[in-house]
Amino acid sequence: MAEEKKNTLDPDHWIERYADYLYSYAYARLRKEEVAQDLVQDTFFSALRAKDTFLQNASEKTWLVSILKRKIIDHYRKKSTQNELNILDKPVEGEDGSIGYFFENQASTPGHWTSSASPNQWGRTFETSVESDEFNDILRTCLTKLPEKTAAAFVMKNMEGLETEEICKELNITQSNYWVMMHRAKLALRDCMEKNWFNK
């Protein structure tokens, strides 16, 4: 007879084992210390309430991260409903009245920039882990310069790996607005990174 699995969660040691990691994870995506701290605390509370439903198909740490991810997404979704007004969040039309000015045929290659709008490749790579850490610090600083909703779309896509359809649903935006926001986020981040890291 197969031995019954025991619940391997150990809530008494969550803070000492995972608080720092979860905070770093949240801060890298939210860029605000107080918000990151609050969501980590909420994660522990939610995990305590749901501990009896833990299926043990993932590690304790992975399970806690999955709860935190959901809270980060919920945070951005709520922020996106606050009617944030910023020029970067407004749709921009090309000469023909569409966003085709920025992208190739969207039906076949959504999000692929046209040759005239595409930025050049960076010619620098990470040479050391220290340099990579420095890059991440500056990237987080540059993210703070983006509007909340635009930063949310960038983080959800590039840090959380969400699909476009899910991001649009969470942020209540159209795919056209999503592609414009992502394009502008990349251009703004590129400009900021070049000034503060690549060309310093």
Task: Dump pLDDT digits (tens) for 120-158.
Answer: 555 444 444 445 677 777 888 888 888 888 888 888 888
Residue pointed to by tokens 């790996």: 161
Q: What pLDDT, on the 0 to 100 scale, is given for residue 148?
A: 81
pTM: 0.65
Structure confidence at residue 110 as a pLDDT band (50, 70, 90): low
Smallest CA-to-CA distance from 39 within 19, 55, 58, 53 is with: 19
Q: What is the DSSP letter of 137?
A: H
Q: What is the reported pLDDT for 160?
A: 84
Q: If DSSP codes are grouped into helix, strand and coil, which group holds residue 103?
A: strand
* Minimum mean pLDDT range among 58-62, 85-89, 145-149, 154-158: 85-89
What 3-state class would DSSP assign to 37?
helix
Architecture of domain 87-198: Orthogonal Bundle (1.10)
28 in Cβ contact with 72 (< 8 Å): no
Asked if 92 and 155 count as a contact pair (C-beta separation under 8 A), the reply is: no
Does 163 score more than 50 pLDDT? yes
